[in-house]
Structure 1
Amino acid sequence: MEKSDPDNENVSRTAFDLTVGMAEEQLGVTVEYRTYTAENYQEKTYDEVALDRARNNMDDFYLLNPDTIQALGEEGKLADLSGLDCAKNLRDVVKTANTVDGKLVAIPQEVVVNGLFVNQDMFDKYHLELPNTPEEFLECCRVFKENGIETPVGANRWWLENFVLAQAYADLYNGDTTEEEIAALNSGEAKYSDYMRPGFEFLQEMIDKGYVDAEKAYVSEAIEGEGPDFLAQKTPIVMAYWGAANADTAYGKPDFQMKVIGFPSKRGQMPVVPLTGYGVSAKAEHMEDTMNVLDVILSDEALKVYTETNKVISPSKNVQVDCIDALKPLNDRVNENVYVLGSNASMKVEQWGNTCNIVRELLNGATVEECLAEFDRLQEESLKE
């Protein structure tokens, strides 16, 4: 979505571009933006670049991933957005995930929902029902493996944490004691490692039985590593985000019947929601203009355009999406308010990035106990702050 010259006419017409155009027209301003790969950042990750630029007050606002939202929010680098008109219409899930120290520090243009993308035709071929629980999922993998499917689950180095988070927090987010359980984790009364154990043991079993190729996953980028085998019907299961089902460059045009479901948990198929968002620098040079721009691009009017263009779930409770058939199982669960958060800024131990990194250690040969010990270490550090 690069637009490095604010005076250039915007011709790419992505969903974001359309909303920026609305802001420029309504406010009489120009908005300059560029992707992190547009300059000399190829050797750094997006998060590294975002953290560096935000900590040095180099821009007015940023599109941030969950772990950077929490880090910058805790450092006081992000402004409070709760006073924006658009904030009044937000779904509770957005407010919960992106509130740090009582301040709403980031608002997304879409609610990212991760799920399992499955080849329904291959499940039908072997008379398998779509799995709800971890036990059912492992049984499906066993049947695929015994019928010559070398790797039932295609994976990459970024997204296996969805399995862990779905099992760890299915009860926490879908029961009646969410606030109490988070408070116990933050105080040290409860241990993150106890929540994480079932998911890590589940992943280890998948690795041990060859349902996941750990060596390949450890070095594979998202979709690039597992996507070709999934589309070629060599692998029946992969994981991805909602928008991948609509994107021709991902899984938007499969030659088979595809379904997108939640990750297995004791409460059934569980969507995982890692919230991203736009955050404004606490020392933005053009603070008033920046806030006004966000109020336009995150308004119901703009979000309707964005949602209809990208076919995604809107952060506004007033904007609904007509999803494709493949996404209906996942969409139904979200509409029932059944999901786990992949990120929650009210937890002292950041979830999304830390879990991802520790899962990578598991892929690289660390034991389950070593992985859980790392969560204990992170929790102990958080208690010192």
Structure 2
Amino acid sequence: MKRNKRGRIRKSAVLCLAGAAVLLTAACGDKEKASSNLIKNDEKDNKVVNLFGPMEKTKPNAKNAARSAFDLTVAMAEEQLGLIVEYRTYTADDYQDKTYDDVGIDRVRNDMDDLYLLNPDTIQILGSEGELLDLSGLECVKNLRDVVKTANEVDGKLVAIPQEVVANGLFVNKDMFDQYELELPETPEDLLECCRVFKENGIQTPIGANRWWLENFVFAQAYADLYNGGNTAAEIEALNKGESKYSDYMRPGFEFLQKLIDLGYVDAEKALVSEAIEGEGPDFLAQKIPIVMAYWGAANSDTAYGKTDFELQVIGFPSSRGPMPVVSVTGYAVGANAEHMEDALDVLEIVLSDEALQLYAENNKVISPSKNVEVECIDALKPLNNKIKENVYVLGSNAGMKVEQWGNTCLIVRKLLEGASVDECMAEFDKLQEESLKQ
């Protein structure tokens, strides 16, 4: 891949970061294969800012609300600044291919683009390496919610800012719950009982899972008290100093996942090779399974769960404190050595302004990173939204924790799916913590 070449994908990235966020697909493959998935554009004479993200510009009449909303804000920047934001995008062919994150890290380290849309784990990795600019001087930063700053500050620098705060939840077929006279689950025990009833009534695997999002169950149980017990800063400091152990927090969630697997409520073998939504989505839409997990924007997109033949409800993941949304904050970042650095910063200033974020939120019905912007969400998302309005949630990504959370937990959950014991998984967390204490 050359720095002066631009890519645009020929096929839709079925899972984009919801215009500003989602966990991206495909496991490691070889670098050569990954390069072949970056489709290149002809050079243009126009003044450009190069954006690497998981989506192409939407075509007229496209019905992906997230991508269309993002395009509207980009159009604002293009018009006001007299430039073109050139999309360079990548999608993986299957689970054996290189991940979007792998490709993104490589492109940032090699200064191949100006703007990047990054997932939480890559934000922390690249921010700690000094590969991303500090964005705290942007005018739009004064309007950001505290949760955004908490999630994306690395070594005191705000290295990425999203267009939405992504809340992950359980997507449930309310009709199927009503059919068997079941209340929507609030605690881990509630969920186990619902799955038991579904399985006894012929639903072979009640929870549709993929290799990316099972960690939400872990986060909800691990950090329900940490983020909602009034002692957050002190508990994180104890973790960073090694006075308490991440594994002690994580163990209940991993034991719960193991129980779901042992009882046949989650198919570990299928989940291990399934891409998000693509793997479990068809069965959920066909009402063969009652429960899946996804991000907020999936409820608004016709390419995911925005159009169902049943009553869709999105609730928090079960925890000791009840339904718990899991929040992960992605973000737009500028490379520390970006070729068009000033123009890229100007683009961000516009697309992250309250005016643009209001436009984005109204079109995409999402939680805005700006404390000044709020829109009414669709009915299916109201249970999740009500919790967040009450400030009840856990962070799946927090750059203030020395051990990166989202990516590491995802990988260790995969070890569980591959057959590792809970004790072996906890040893992985202990190892990560020991390494962080040496830094």
Quick check: TM above 0.5? yes
2:59 counterpart of 1:12: yes
1:112 pairs, out of 159, 166, 178, with 166
Structure 1 residues 368 and 106: CA distance shift in structure 2, 3 A: same
Tell me the equivalent position of 1:370: 424
Please show how residues 254-265 of structure 1 align to structure 2 within 5 Å.
254-265=308-319
Q: Which moved more, 1:48-57 or 1:98-107?
A: 48-57
2:223 counterpart of 1:169: yes
2:203 counterpart of 1:149: yes
The offset of 1:175, in angstroms, is 1.7
Tell me the equivalent position of 1:277: 331
Residues in 1 aligned to 2:206 and 2:91: alpha-carbon distance in whole angstroms: 34
Residues in 2 aligned to 1:249 and 1:78: alpha-carbon distance in whole angstroms: 32
Residues in 2 aligned to 1:316 and 1:105: alpha-carbon distance in whole angstroms: 16
Tell me the equivalent position of 1:87: 141
The offset of 1:2, in angstroms, is 4.6
Residues in 1 aligned to 2:360 and 2:79: alpha-carbon distance in whole angstroms: 16
The offset of 1:45, in angstroms, is 1.1
Count matched residues.
382
AA at the equivalent of 1:217: A
Tell me the equivalent position of 2:181: 127
AA at the equivalent of 1:221: E
Residues in 2 aligned to 1:226 and 1:24: alpha-carbon distance in whole angstroms: 38
The offset of 1:11, in angstroms, is 6.7
The offset of 1:265, in angstroms, is 0.4
Q: Deviations over 1:127-169 (max 9, x none)?
A: 1111111111111111111111111101011100000011000
AA at the equivalent of 1:188: G
Residues in 2 aligned to 1:371 and 1:125: alpha-carbon distance in whole angstroms: 38
AA at the equivalent of 1:312: V
Tell me the equivalent position of 2:368: 314
AA at the equivalent of 1:130: L
Please show how residues 24-35 of structure 1 align to structure 2 within 5 Å.
24-35=78-89
Unaligned runs of 5+ in 1: none
Residues in 2 aligned to 1:246 and 1:281: alpha-carbon distance in whole angstroms: 31
2:291 pairs, out of 237, 253, 269, with 237
Residues in 1 aligned to 2:80 and 2:167: alpha-carbon distance in whole angstroms: 31
Tell me the equivalent position of 1:252: 306
Residues in 2 aligned to 1:250 and 1:274: alpha-carbon distance in whole angstroms: 19
Residues in 2 aligned to 1:11 and 1:182: alpha-carbon distance in whole angstroms: 41
Q: SS at the partner of 1:163?
A: helix
2:239 counterpart of 1:185: yes
Residues in 1 aligned to 2:305 and 2:361: alpha-carbon distance in whole angstroms: 18
Q: SS at the partner of 1:118?
A: strand
Q: SS at the partner of 1:32?
A: strand
The offset of 1:30, in angstroms, is 2.3
Tell me the equivalent position of 1:195: 249
Tell me the equivalent position of 2:378: 324
The offset of 1:36, in angstroms, is 2.1
Tell me the equivalent position of 1:290: 344
Tell me the equivalent position of 2:212: 158
The offset of 1:24, in angstroms, is 1.4
Residues in 2 aligned to 1:197 and 1:340: alpha-carbon distance in whole angstroms: 16
Q: SS at the partner of 1:52?
A: helix
- TM-score, normalising length: structure 2: 0.84
Residues in 2 aligned to 1:122 and 1:296: alpha-carbon distance in whole angstroms: 44
1:56 pairs, out of 110, 126, 132, with 110
Q: SS at the partner of 1:201?
A: helix
Structure 1 residues 137 and 298: CA distance shift in structure 2, 3 A: same
Structure 1 residues 370 and 70: CA distance shift in structure 2, 3 A: same
- TM-score, normalising length: structure 1: 0.96
Residues in 2 aligned to 1:363 and 1:37: alpha-carbon distance in whole angstroms: 24
Unaligned runs of 5+ in 2: 1-6, 10-40, 49-56, 61-67
The offset of 1:372, in angstroms, is 0.6
The offset of 1:29, in angstroms, is 2.3
The offset of 1:323, in angstroms, is 0.9
Structure 1 residues 133 and 291: CA distance shift in structure 2, 3 A: same
Structure 1 residues 11 and 265: CA distance shift in structure 2, 3 A: closer
